[in-house]
Amino acid sequence: MKFVDEYRDSEVIKQLLGAIKHQLDDIPPRCRPWQIMEVCGGHTRAIYRFGLDKLLPKEIEFIHGPGCPVCVLPIQVIDQAFALALKPDVILCSYGDVMRVPGSSGSLIQAREQGADVRIVYSPRDALAVALNNPERQVVFLAIGFETTIPATAATLLAADKRQVSNFHLLVHHVCIEPPLLALLEEKDTAIDAFIAPGHVSTITGALPYLSVAATYHKPVVISGFEPADILQSTLMLLRQLQRGKAEVENQYTRAVQVFGNRAAQTTIDRVFELAETTEWRGLGKLRHSGYQLVKAYQRFDATRLISTPDQEETVDHTPCHCADVLCGKLTPDECPLFGRACKPTHPAGALMVSEEGACAAHWQYRQQEVEL
Amino acid sequence: MCLALPGKLLHITDAENGLALADCGGVRREVDISCLLLEHPNTPLEGRWVLFHVGFALALIDEVEAKQTLALIAELDGQPANSTHLELPGTDK
């Protein structure tokens, strides 16, 4: 595929690996590896899929960050979606990634087994089409995701509003990339040296969310594309910054990311959403100004209004795993006692084993893959 | 989940509502280009390569920048890794 294959070319990869080894020779040795956090689950999956962790010298270690929206989804949202799905007049539409995430009463797949009308959609536009085709039913779209996905939800809501669709509702759990990064950097035992920032989030946001990571916490950041050559080039750029003692935000993904992002998409987000006071994150707890809620003018689209007695009690996440520690880079996936035993992709105990982009699922899928050099 | 893939914008089907037809990896589908139209009001978009995510256009792909990234890598002074054969496991043949 154009703009994909050329960034997987083995000659290009060899060139980059050589340059990275060269660069490491110029950095004084130290007793622990350079820890680079790839924030986005898409990067995590690419690193495992292409065996980049095995190709790179042992002086470089990737720490898998909190940028997988399925993985940071709190159990309360699954429980709300489950409750909505079981209402007889509701059709619940969701991205496929969320279907198997375990909630207190079960996953959305299990809701479907109990007779709920749960449908997998590719796009929020598809959910709107379901609403238009089923005027007698209430259609709820489970709107999750980072800044990459938020403009699609916002544009769809504006389209629904324009067409005066009254049976289309959003269960919103849209989140921002900056607050979890700052929360991780505030933790005492954080050992992350540098960040590979999510390229597709950045097509919308530009470089803004990472400025304080570099300026306040003195960590180098490179916005990266998702192909092997992109990730290796970004690694090289980070090593150069580390060698020179710099902490800047650089853009490797120049073919798609503008420094100021997509301003029309930012405006579309702001027409529909505003920052909520606090938002719950799996593994990170409540973070201030880290997620979105509908602005007053569009609150009639809020799906929680369909639940007649909203559950005021705080749901406690009893998931018996160490997702939080893996999310924060404190444990590697196989250091979790449940990994590969009580928690596998076929019966996930935690969210990180559900999504293909979760660190545990990617680690499990590619754990025995050999990379030939 | 934030996976986005390049697709070719074939033609704008409904400019007022920001809808277009695109070829995404051989699959033709309707896409929402409303923000792309607002962001690039004076750029001809038909025939351009665009990054799509959940049926929504995120950004135009800059072909000049795409080539420059590869050119920069080709100019690296690092010695190639000591091997003649490298097979990336995830590469589709």
B89:A17 CB<8 A: no
Q: Where exactly does CATH 3.40.50.11740 map onto chain A?
A: 75-174+262-306
Model pLDDT for residues B22-37, shown as the tens digit of each residue: 998 889 999 999 999 9
Q: Where exactly does CATH 3.40.50.11750 map onto chain A?
A: 12-72+175-243+332-365
CATH architecture, domain defined by A12-72+175-243+332-365: 3-Layer(aba) Sandwich (3.40)
pTM: predicted TM-score of the whole model, two decimal places: 0.92
Give percent of chain A above pLDDT 70. Answer: 96
Residues of A in contact with B69 (CB under 8 A): 7, 225, 229-230, 233, 252, 254-255
Q: Which residue has the tokens 């699959």?
A: B27
Query: How high is the pLDDT of residue B12?
Result: 97
For domain A75-174+262-306, which CATH number applies: 3.40.50.2300, 3.30.2420.10, 3.20.20.80, 3.40.50.11740? 3.40.50.11740
- Write out residues 283-312 of A within 8 Å (CB-CB) of B: none
Does position A329 have pLDDT exceeding 80, yes or no? no
What's the whole-number average pLDDT of chain B? 85
Instruction: Name the residue facing A203 among B54, B59, B74 (closest C-beta).
Output: B59
Does position B81 have pLDDT exceeding 60, yes or no? no
- Write out residues 44-83 of B within 8 Å (CB-CB) of A: 49, 51, 53-56, 58-59, 61-63, 65-66, 68-70, 72-74, 76-81, 83
Interface confidence, given as ipTM, is 0.90
Instruction: Name the residue facing B54 among A68, A70, A122 (closest C-beta).
Output: A122
